[in-house]
Amino acid sequence: MTINWQKEVETRKEALLEDLQNLLRINSERDDTKATPEAPFGPGPVAGLKHMLAYGERDGFTVKNVDNYAGHIDYGEGDETLGIFGHMDVVPAGDGWETDPYEPVIKDGKIYARGSSDDKGPSMAAYYAMKIIKDLELPLSKKVRFVVGSDEESGWGDMDYYFQHEEAPDFGFSPDAEFPIINGEKGNVSIYAHFKGTNSDEYVLESFESGLRENMVPGTAKAIITVPSTEIASKMKGAFEVFLKEEPITGTFAGNDTVVEISVIGKGAHGASPQSGINAATFLAVFLDSYDFGAAAKGFIHSAATIHEDFYGEKLGVAFEDEKMGQLTMNAGLFTFKKDSEKGNSISLNFRYPKGTSAEVIEAGIKETIGKNEAIFEQGDRNQAPHYVPADDPLVETLLQVYEDHTGEKGAEKIIGGGTYGRLLKRGVAYGAMFPGYTDTMHQANEFMELEDLFRATAIYADAIYRLAK
């Protein structure tokens, strides 16, 4: 049977786009302050989850909501299950948007909104691919299960809960990265450095705040400082103005006598590629590091300055590279300091590490460097080992062949620092929906997805699902 997948997508483009726009209007950021038993990650993620599952019910699929943590949309029957994993939660919108991040805008062939490329747009492409197969009543020998998550951008608590109650698919993919395929992912661990103690008597760090998530390069940072005199405040302002001229950042300096507020604006980016962003927090720390702060404040600032642009962990003493998986990367994502806080003074360091090293080796290494600043360390809730599916696995071979057939371009395996739901399965990969040469706006302001890519990906997913499950 020969099927014109592009034509099938063409007849559904308007419906797909309307469904996507409605999904993008949901602010599905995690909010623990509003978490309840009915909304384990806050009202936004569960609203996104229910909305996506409602599409499945509308279109006649078998649907299950697993206690508002996650859910799935099923089609077909068989002894084996092909799993497709998408997620409805998004990282915080942050600053710097030219449009409302939760009111999608279509402009110049792109759809702008938080979640358009990560991961609501690609998830909608995969869902419509399933819908095409169902609409055409194509016979399958395997069950196809689209698993919908709601906590991928944070702790993956959704999948922990889901797999306690549901069987894992036998193999599958996540539409949450790029084509032609991602069949390997680096390990992923966050380590928090905590700083206890008091300030000095002269320069007092009242507060330092930066960052929205561990896996985002912080685009803004702000510090409030008490300095010894108005004269020193004036000199600090002049020094900051010189600093701004020398560095790729913008900022403001405001003050009332001896209390000053310094803000820095850099550029947000995905924490898996920290070198593509401009970390506002470490730039601010570099400026402050020359001033005589004391105790915990000094340790906090000096540590933040030490890791400035240390994208590969060289200054931290944990640099490592594997021939296949590449270099370790480090993103400093969350910075919190409050005067006289007993526990809240911390910096999060998110590492994406290749095989050959480990979270324990990394933690031991940073204890020898910023540990000298009287920091104590704590691992985050998630430590994921490196993941790899061999290139000769039939799953990888089939998905690459589908990509080549649709694009005319040769596909090859690729390993990334980003973490996707593809690693949930032993035979799991990430597959699209971004094409080679795309502009990466994930976790950034003005996130978008090319409409042409959205529709091309839908056709590729439909063909791939059919070949894998027929």
The residues annotated with a catalytic role in the active site are: 89, 152
Task: Return the number of other C-beta atoms located less than 10 Å from residue 11's C-beta.
Answer: 10
DSSP state of 34: G
Q: CA 445 → CA 98, 220, 417, distances in Å?
A: 8, 12, 21
Distances (CA, A) of 346 to 114, 165, 299: 28, 35, 10
127 and 461 in contact (C-beta within 8 Å)?
Answer: no
Asked whether 337 and 344 are in contact (CB, 8 A), the reply is yes
How does strand 326-327 pair with strand 321-322? antiparallel
Q: Scanning the structure block, which residue is given the tokens 């507060």? A: 207
**178 vs 50: CA distance, rounded Å:** 26
Q: Is 364 exposed, middle or buried (0-12, 13-18, 19+ CB in 10 A)?
A: middle
Residue in 7, 411, 406 with CA at minimum distance from that of residue 182: 411
**Number of helices (H), then strands (E), in the chain:** 11, 26
Structure tokens at 304: 């933040």
Report the b/e string of 313-350 with b at 16+ CB within 10 A.
bebbebbbebeebbbbbbbbbbbbbebebeeebbbbbb
Token couple for 299? 């340790």
Q: Which helix (H) or strand (E) holds 58?
A: helix 43-58
**Contacts of residue 141, Cβ cutoff 8 Å, sequence gap at least 6:** 78, 469, 470
- Which structure tokens are listed for 400? 């690459």
In sequence order, the 6+-apart residues with CB closer than 8 A to the CB of 469 are 76, 78, 82, 140, 141, 142, 143, 144
Mapped onto helix, strand or coil, the DSSP state of residue 452 is: helix
**Distance between CA atoms of 222 and 397, rounded to whole angstroms?**
49
Using CA atoms, how far residue 12 sits from 18, 150, 325, 409, 463, in Å, is 10, 26, 39, 26, 16
